[in-house]
């Protein structure tokens, strides 16, 4: 005997067509309407307005930006790992002398991802949470300049920079007149090799292409680093290169990869790889080799040339404490303030006077300190000669159209295409 | 009055979920489709030009990365099944009162950051590291042998990182099996192998199905393992998409590649569901 009313059982199996049609739209239609609304959005999603053309600044632009802005006694600083003493000695000295409280964060690992992170808030005119950041010259810095993401600097408030920066570090090609940046430290991209495995002297980029080292060579994945080395190999000056030059360089680099000579394309993780012998020879940055790799690893600037790049201090347009940022920028251009930083970082300082300070300190020091400081003050990796500097080239400054072409040519190489 | 309110109830019930889907799924999808057909750049702006070449250019330059990603996804998923099923089986049927403890131990490594776990493998597998170094020094492995920067390293990393997404669904499906059903099989003279193949395996297939979906899709889209453990010949489409978005700000290209990947995966899932017969699997489980 069924415990349910027979009428109820009949209701379960018979669709209520009449009720549906009489009672308004069925559920299915509601979902269809939402889909239609979505389709409508497609028509309105017609692109983003261009924001370029802001890299030229006039004196009135500078005055307009800085008008009414005052020191707040606070500073949020974004930097790369390894670019400040572990005990933050330099920051503490700055805080003590100026009273500005600094929050320091090592949040920049690579320029591409960093730009990807800050681009949206800057485009929206919002703070990125930092008042000062360190950006390498290259594609992303140029994009920031053109998009107006950086505060135009008031050089009259940077007297130490004017007085002490070396001529090679003023008015750089990538930021004429230091409109938006002052240098923090510079470095050279050259070749690092592990003498435990490589028994000959390395002097040339051609050796990175030698089949003898098949599977033991590292290259950099960054398209501008990679492109420059391809061009150096062919005797092309990257700063004066053309699209045809890029294509020749790319073909050479693809040949190297397809012969299996390249084991991997690195960012900064080449340090571990070459120290441990995963690769025997690799593109590398001078300061990393000086201070981070194992003692077996040597660094050379190839005879064909090397890339000099500069990590620059710059102020995001939306900074909450821009005047404090300016204070720190100028403070770092006092040689006595820069020297401890260079002793730790081991990259190229923008202040030639630092060399004398470190040399004098070496004379007064004893034991291991004396040895370390003497090595530092006499190293051509930290204080290059004019002859060395003459062989170094920057990345080429690219217009937007050129950048698109450049990336299309070089970016796929490290991706295996 | 009561009738009207009653009739509106189903639509009101669907409203929150519908709005959620519209705001967080439909709108982003539509915007991405639109972006994938645009031209331009950050400096000059992006314009809608119905530029289908974003798809054809992307596929012609990086087509082999799609194939490799799907292949790695397949191999890693199969590896996960092979590892996860016995583990889940043992915990479900032999774990006794300590089942929760064993599950917890299995999941413990995954409380650490995904990226840190992957980088740790790099330390373990380095050529002169703790494992390969001694083996090569004693002549067991040839000079020049390496695991890092190979496809094996990438697939192993993928399988390792996504193993929980296979273990848990299978464990849940196995746990749900009534022991008396298995007992009945034995009573009817089934051998252990027969009982497994005809009773336990069919009843646990929904778990395998769910595990495959939850493993294959993220694995095929991954960009960390290939970046950390692979070389240039192991690049996956996820690496390319990440680079185009974050390094190049080439949003149209990245959107086109993303949407192409999504379309390929959706087609794959539908084909897989149709082939395996989701409904039949569920009916078998319910029977």
Does residue B179 lie within any of the structural domains? Answer: yes
For residue A32, the chain B residue with the least C-alpha distance is: B18
Distance from CA of B135 to the nearest CA of A (A): 15
Residues of B whose CB is below 8 A from A48: 40, 45-46
When pLDDT is cut at 50, 70 and 90, the band that residue A29 belongs to is low
The reported pLDDT for the residue numbered A20 is: 36
The reported pLDDT for the residue numbered A295 is: 86
Contact A52 B243 (CB under 8 A): no
Contact B41 A404 (CB under 8 A): yes
Does residue A246 lie within any of the structural domains? Answer: yes
- Do both A313 and A303 map to the same domain? no
Comparing CB atoms, the residue among B11, B127, B235 nearest residue A278 is: B127
- How many structural domains does chain A have? 2
Residues of B whose CB is below 8 A from A53: 43
Single out the residue of B76, B44, B47, B220 nearest to residue B152, CA to CA: B76
Higher per-residue confidence, A188 vs A294: A188
Residue B251 exposure: Cα atoms within 13 Å on the Cβ side: 21
Position B27 pLDDT exceeds 80:
yes
Does residue B259 lie within any of the structural domains? Answer: yes
Most A CBs within 10 Å, among B12, B22, B30, to test the A interface? B30
Single out the residue of B283, B154, B272 nearest to residue B219, CA to CA: B154
- Do both A292 and A334 map to the same domain? no
Distance from CA of A49 to the nearest CA of B (A): 5
For residue A275, the chain B residue with the least C-alpha distance is: B128
The reported pLDDT for the residue numbered A46 is: 56
Find the helix packing angle between A335-345 and A367-378, rounded to 10°.
100
* String of DSSP letters for A350-367: S-THHHHHHHHHHHH--H
The first and second tokens of residue A107, run together, are: 């949040």
Position A33 pLDDT exceeds 70:
no
The string of pLDDT tens digits covering residues A304-363 is: 999 999 999 999 999 999 999 999 999 999 999 999 999 998 889 999 999 999 999 999
Does residue A222 lie within any of the structural domains? Answer: yes
Contact A412 B61 (CB under 8 A): yes
Instruction: Please state, as a whole number, how many other Cβ atoms lie within 10 Å of the Cβ of residue B282.
Output: 13
Q: How many helices (H) and strands (E) does chain A have?
A: 18, 11
The string of pLDDT tens digits covering residues B195-208 is: 999 999 989 988 99
Residues of B whose CB is below 8 A from A415: 62, 65, 232, 235, 239-240, 243
* String of DSSP letters for A308-349: EEEEEEE-BTT-S-HHHHHHHHHHTTSHHHHHHHHHHH-SB-
CA distance A195 to A341: 29
Contact between A115 and A153 under an 8 Å Cβ cutoff? The reply is: no
- Do both A109 and A174 map to the same domain? yes
When pLDDT is cut at 50, 70 and 90, the band that residue B174 belongs to is very high
Does residue B11 lie within any of the structural domains? Answer: no
CA distance B7 to B3: 6
Distance from CA of B125 to the nearest CA of A (A): 10
Does residue A374 lie within any of the structural domains? Answer: no
- Do both A251 and A158 map to the same domain? no
CA distance B284 to B278: 10
Q: Is B9 helix (H, G, I), strand (E, B) or coil?
A: helix
Position A287 pLDDT exceeds 70:
yes
Q: Is A282 helix (H, G, I), strand (E, B) or coil?
A: strand
Q: Is A387 helix (H, G, I), strand (E, B) or coil?
A: helix
Residue B47: partners with Cβ closer than 8 Å, 6 or more residues away: A46, A47, B38, B39, B40
Single out the residue of A233, A173, A176 nearest to residue A396, CA to CA: A173
DSSP B237: H
The reported pLDDT for the residue numbered A401 is: 86
Does residue A396 lie within any of the structural domains? Answer: yes
Single out the residue of B25, B32, B71, B63 nearest to residue B219, CA to CA: B71
Pairing between β-strand A262-266 and β-strand A181-194 as defined by DSSP bridges: unpaired
When pLDDT is cut at 50, 70 and 90, the band that residue A30 belongs to is low
Residues of B whose CB is below 8 A from A36: none
The reported pLDDT for the residue numbered A251 is: 97
Does residue B142 lie within any of the structural domains? Answer: yes
Does residue B4 lie within any of the structural domains? Answer: no
- How many structural domains does chain B have? 1
Does residue A101 lie within any of the structural domains? Answer: yes
Single out the residue of A310, A325, A354 nearest to residue A158, CA to CA: A325
DSSP A150: B
Q: Is the ipTM above a cut-off of 0.90?
A: no
When pLDDT is cut at 50, 70 and 90, the band that residue A27 belongs to is low
- Do both A110 and A236 map to the same domain? no
CA distance A400 to A239: 16
The reported pLDDT for the residue numbered A25 is: 47
CA distance A180 to A151: 6
When pLDDT is cut at 50, 70 and 90, the band that residue B283 belongs to is low
Position B243 pLDDT exceeds 70:
yes
- Do both A181 and A328 map to the same domain? yes
Find the CATH number of the domain harbouring B254: 1.10.3720.10
Residues of A whose CB is below 8 A from B14: 27, 30
Comparing CB atoms, the residue among B30, B45, B149 nearest residue A49 is: B45
Percentages (nearest 5) of helix, strand, coil residues in chain B: 80, 5, 15
- Do both A313 and A277 map to the same domain? no
When pLDDT is cut at 50, 70 and 90, the band that residue A11 belongs to is very low
- Do both A172 and A210 map to the same domain? no
- Do both A293 and A199 map to the same domain? yes
Does residue B197 lie within any of the structural domains? Answer: yes
Residues in chain B: 287
- Do both A410 and A336 map to the same domain? no
Mean predicted confidence (pLDDT) in B106-134: 87
Q: How many Cβ contacts (< 8 angstroms) between chains A and B?
A: 134
Contact A51 B42 (CB under 8 A): yes
When pLDDT is cut at 50, 70 and 90, the band that residue A81 belongs to is confident
Residues of B whose CB is below 8 A from A264: 149, 231-232
Contact B245 A116 (CB under 8 A): yes
CA distance A162 to A350: 11
Residues of B whose CB is below 8 A from A147: 42-43
* Domain ranges, residue B159: 61-285
Residue B246 exposure: Cα atoms within 13 Å on the Cβ side: 16
For residue A278, the chain B residue with the least C-alpha distance is: B127
When pLDDT is cut at 50, 70 and 90, the band that residue A116 belongs to is confident
Mean predicted confidence (pLDDT) in A12-35: 48
The reported pLDDT for the residue numbered B188 is: 92
For residue B15, the chain A residue with the least C-alpha distance is: A30
Residues of B whose CB is below 8 A from A47: 38, 40, 45-48
The reported pLDDT for the residue numbered B2 is: 62
Distance from CA of A93 to the nearest CA of B (A): 34
Does residue B67 lie within any of the structural domains? Answer: yes
* Domain ranges, residue A322: 59-185+309-350
Distance from CA of A373 to the nearest CA of B (A): 33
When pLDDT is cut at 50, 70 and 90, the band that residue A45 belongs to is low
Comparing CB atoms, the residue among A46, A50, A411 nearest residue B44 is: A50
Does residue B46 lie within any of the structural domains? Answer: no
Span between the terminal Cα atoms of chain B, in Å: 43
Contact B45 A48 (CB under 8 A): yes
Comparing CB atoms, the residue among B30, B41, B144 nearest residue A38 is: B30
Contact B31 A45 (CB under 8 A): yes
The string of pLDDT tens digits covering residues A233-262 is: 999 999 999 999 999 999 999 999 999 999
Contact B128 A23 (CB under 8 A): no
The reported pLDDT for the residue numbered A37 is: 55
Distance from CA of B192 to the nearest CA of A (A): 41
Find the CATH number of the domain harbouring A171: 3.40.190.10
The reported pLDDT for the residue numbered A28 is: 54
CA distance A39 to B78: 39
Residues of B whose CB is below 8 A from A35: 26
- Do both A180 and A194 map to the same domain? no
- Do both A329 and A215 map to the same domain? no
The reported pLDDT for the residue numbered A8 is: 53
Percent of chain A residues topping a pLDDT of 90: 63
Does residue A362 lie within any of the structural domains? Answer: no
Higher per-residue confidence, A112 vs B198: B198
The string of pLDDT tens digits covering residues A391-413 is: 899 889 888 889 889 999 999 99
Contact between A194 and A387 under an 8 Å Cβ cutoff? The reply is: no
């Amino acid at each position: 005997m069924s415990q349910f009313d027979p009428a109820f059982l009949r209701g379960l199996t018979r669709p209520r067509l009449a009720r549906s049609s009489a009672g308004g739209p069925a559920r299915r239609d509601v979902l269809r309407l939402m889909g239609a609304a979505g389709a409508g959005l497609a028509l309105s999603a017609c692109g983003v307005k261009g924001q370029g053309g802001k890299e030229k600044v006039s004196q009135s632009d500078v005055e307009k930006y800085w008008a009414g802005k005052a020191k707040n006694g606070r500073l949020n600083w974004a930097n790369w790992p390894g670019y400040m003493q572990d005990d933050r000695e330099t920051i503490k000295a700055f805080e003590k002398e100026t009273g500005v409280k600094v929050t320091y964060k090592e949040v920049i690992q690579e320029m591409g991802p960093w730009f990807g992170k800050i681009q949206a808030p800057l485009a929206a005119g919002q703070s990125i949470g930092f008042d000062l950041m360190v950006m390498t010259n290259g594609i992303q810095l140029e994009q920031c300049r053109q998009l107006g993401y950086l505060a135009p600097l008031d050089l009259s408030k940077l007297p130490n920079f004017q007085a002490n920066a070396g001529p090679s570090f003023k008015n750089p090609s990538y930021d004429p007149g230091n409109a938006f940046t002052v240098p923090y430290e510079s470095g050279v991209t050259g070749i690092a090799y592990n003498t435990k495995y490589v028994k000959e002297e390395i002097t040339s980029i051609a050796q990175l292409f030698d089949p003898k080292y098949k599977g033991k060579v590292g290259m950099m994945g960054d398209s501008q680093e990679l492109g420059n080395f391809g061009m150096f190999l062919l005797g092309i000056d990257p700063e004066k290169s053309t699209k045809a030059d890029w294509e020749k360089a790319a073909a050479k680099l693809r040949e190297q990869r397809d012969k299996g000579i390249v084991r991997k394309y690195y960012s900064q993780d080449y340090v571990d790889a070459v120290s441990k012998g995963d690769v025997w020879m690799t593109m590398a940055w001078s300061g990393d080799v000086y201070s981070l790799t194992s003692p077996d690893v040597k660094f050379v600037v190839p005879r064909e040339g090397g890339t000099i790049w500069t990590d620059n201090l710059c102020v995001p347009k939306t900074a909450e404490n821009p005047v404090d940022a300016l204070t720190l920028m100028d403070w770092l251009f006092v040689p006595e303030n820069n020297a401890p930083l260079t002793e730790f970082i081991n990259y190229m300082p923008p202040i030639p006077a630092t060399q004398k300070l470190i040399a004098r300190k070496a004379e007064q020091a004893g034991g291991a300190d004396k040895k370390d400081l003497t090595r530092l003050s006499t190293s051509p990796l930290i204080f290059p000669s004019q002859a060395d500097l003459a062989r170094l080239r920057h990345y080429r400054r690219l217009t937007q159209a050129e950048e698109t072409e450049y990336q299309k040519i070089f970016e796929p190489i490290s991706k295996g295409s | 009055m009561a009738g009207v309110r009653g009739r509106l109830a189903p639509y009101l019930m669907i409203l929150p979920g519908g709005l959620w889907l519209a705001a967080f799924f439909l709108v982003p999808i539509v915007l991405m489709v639109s972006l994938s057909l645009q031209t331009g750049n950050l400096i000059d702006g992006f314009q809608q030009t119905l530029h289908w070449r974003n798809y054809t250019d992307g596929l012609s330059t990086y087509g082999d990365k799609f194939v490799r990603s799907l292949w790695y996804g397949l191999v890693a998923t199969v590896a996960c099944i092979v590892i996860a099923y016995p583990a889940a089986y043992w915990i479900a049927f032999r774990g006794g009162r300590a089942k929760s403890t064993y599950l917890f131990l299995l999941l413990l490594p995954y409380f650490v950051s995904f990226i840190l776990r992957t980088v740790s493998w790099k330390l373990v597998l380095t050529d002169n590291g703790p494992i390969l170094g001694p083996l090569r020094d004693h002549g067991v492995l040839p000079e020049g042998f390496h695991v890092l920067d190979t496809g094996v390293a990438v697939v192993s990393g993928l399988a390792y990182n996504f193993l929980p997404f296979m273990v848990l669904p299978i464990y849940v499906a196995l746990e749900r099996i009534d022991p008396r059903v298995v007992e009945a099989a034995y009573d009817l003279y089934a051998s252990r192998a027969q009982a497994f193949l005809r009773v336990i395996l069919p009843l646990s297939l929904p778990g395998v199905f769910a595990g495959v979906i939850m493993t294959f899709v993220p694995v095929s889209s991954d960009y960390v393992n290939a970046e950390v453990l692979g070389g240039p010949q192991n690049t996956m489409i996820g690496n390319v998409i990440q680079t185009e978005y974050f390094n190049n700000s080439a949003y149209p290209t990245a959107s086109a590649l993303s949407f192409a990947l999504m379309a390929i995966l959706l087609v794959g899932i539908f084909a897989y569901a149709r082939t395996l017969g989701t409904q039949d699997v569920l009916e078998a489980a319910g029977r």
